[in-house]
Amino acid sequence: MTGTGRVLGIETSCDETAAAVVEHGRRVVTSVVSSQVDLHARYGGVVPELAGRAHVELALPVVADALAGAGLDRRGRSLEDPGGPVEIDAVAATVGPGLIGALLVGVSTAKALSLAWGVPFVGVNHLEGHLYAAMLDSPDIELPVVVLLVSGGHTLLVALESPGSYEVLGATLDDAAGEAFDKVARYLGLGYPGGPEIDRLAVSGDPEAIRFPRAATAGPLDFSFSGLKTAVVSYVRSHPEVANADVAACFQEAAVEVLVAKSLAAADQIGARGACLAGGVAANSLLRARFSEAFSERGLASYLPSRAMCTDNAAMIAAAGYFQLERSGPTPLDAGAVPDLQLRSSR
């Protein structure tokens, strides 16, 4: 890696086409995200075939936008010195987990650019990318931290000791946190994605109107949300007169209470200096408020990334790619995409 440590990251695992340029895994030079949420909204969820096709159309324009934001042309050369060398040191792309047809678009684009430019290709685990999002917003973060990664597909508690060194402490046994928000919202007849709708509606509800269950799990840092979702559905069925706002507020209360309590327990377990939120559900206003309150009461730092960093983006993929390249070198060009890739402890 040369002096600039400049990595182009590409993210196409789900319904966001994103590209970013990041230096040394810490400084975001440019980050472009093109969301397909409107394309999928009318179906109430992401349609894999449509996502793949949209990525094919958007990948090159989004990459070109990101390069332009870094002062580079489509060939990776400086706009001021088009005859000069390629000014990207490596190309990273999400290889999983995600939708296979979507992942392959980003992976093929990244491999093609890596070949054309003669720079390394790095295949990144999307979930590892999420771990670095808070660091990109707060570069002076003190490690180790606990990261609570809560998205539409995943719920994980991870100890991040140093860039590239992490341990998975707990995970959901069934639904992801965001999935529970989305399913409850759909049941209540709210829009898609459901998390933001529940968040909005809960403001006008009474969080003490109904007591929904907080599931116990055998692994103390694991999560389970399917019982909570079922409890909401059966309550609404037997109390059709209940106000949606009260249901939203009480569901959110139960989900957030468990997420915060287990994050605190995880921080105690590893002697963390602080904790970070990551993933789409990190945009939830109650979770943000309770999380920072709980950690500041313990005298610990809490890092709440901006909305742009919480949701899928390519800056976090470029950062993960940088650290991975430093630790374990490039990924062979014949490596494929892995739709069910898991996040495993790095040692």
List interacting residues with ligand KG4 (CB under 6 A). 14, 151-153, 178, 181-182, 193-196, 199, 279-281, 283-284, 311-312
The C-alpha R_g of the chain, in whole angstroms, comes to 20
- Do 193 and 14 form a contact (C-beta atoms < 8 A)? no
Q: Least distance from C-beta 13 to Zn ion, angstroms?
A: 7
Nearer to ligand KG4, 77 or 183 (CB): 183
Q: Least distance from C-beta 25 to ligand KG4, angstroms?
A: 20
196 binds, among Zn ion, ligand KG4, none (CB under 5 to 8 A by kind): ligand KG4
Nearer to ligand KG4, 46 or 119 (CB): 46
Build a one-symbol-per-residue string for 312-341: x at contacts with Zn ion by CB under 5 A, - elsewhere: x-----------------------------
Q: Least distance from C-beta 200 to ligand KG4, angstroms?
A: 8
Give strand pairing partners of 92.
Answer: 9, 122
Q: Least distance from C-beta 153 to ligand KG4, angstroms?
A: 5
Please, is 226 exposed, middle or buried when counting C-beta atoms within 10 Å of its C-beta (0-12, 13-18, 19+)? middle
199 binds, among Zn ion, ligand KG4, none (CB under 5 to 8 A by kind): ligand KG4
Token readout for 107 is 């992976």
User: For residue 277, which of 178, 186, 175 has the smallest C-alpha distance?
Assistant: 178
SS3 16: strand
Nearer to Zn ion, 31 or 151 (CB): 151
Is 17 a binding residue for Zn ion by CB under 5 A? The answer is: no
114 binds, among ligand KG4, Zn ion, none (CB under 5 to 8 A by kind): none
281 binds, among ligand KG4, Zn ion, none (CB under 5 to 8 A by kind): ligand KG4
Q: Least distance from C-beta 260 to ligand KG4, angstroms?
A: 14
Is 12 a binding residue for Zn ion by CB under 5 A? The answer is: no
User: For residue 254, which of 220, 226, 221, 293 has the smallest C-alpha distance?
Assistant: 226
Q: What is the DSSP letter of 279?
A: S
User: For residue 180, which of 276, 280, 34 has the smallest C-alpha distance?
Assistant: 280
Q: What is the Cβ-side half-sphere exposure of residue 26, based on CA atoms within 13 angstroms?
A: 7
Cα distances from 66 to residues 23, 32, 308, in angstroms, run: 13, 6, 15
Nearer to ligand KG4, 111 or 154 (CB): 154
Quick one: which of 12, 31, 151, 252 contacts Zn ion (CB under 5 A)? 151
How far is residue 314's CA from residue 97's CA, in Å, rounded to a whole number?
Answer: 14
User: For residue 263, which of 133, 147, 97 has the smallest C-alpha distance?
Assistant: 147
Build a one-symbol-per-residue string for 257-276: x at contacts with Zn ion by CB under 5 A, - elsewhere: --------------------
Q: Least distance from C-beta 83 to ligand KG4, angstroms?
A: 40
- Total number of residues that touch Zn ion (CB under 5 A): 2
152 binds, among ligand KG4, Zn ion, none (CB under 5 to 8 A by kind): ligand KG4
- Please report the DSSP string for 282-299 in residue order: GG-HHHHHHHHHHHHHTT
- Do 131 and 260 form a contact (C-beta atoms < 8 A)? no
How far is residue 261's CA from residue 294's CA, in Å, rounded to a whole number?
Answer: 9
**Segment lying near Zn ion (by CB under 5 A), choices 21-29, 87-95, 150-158, 190-198:** 150-158
Interface contacts to Zn ion, rule CB under 5 A:
151, 312
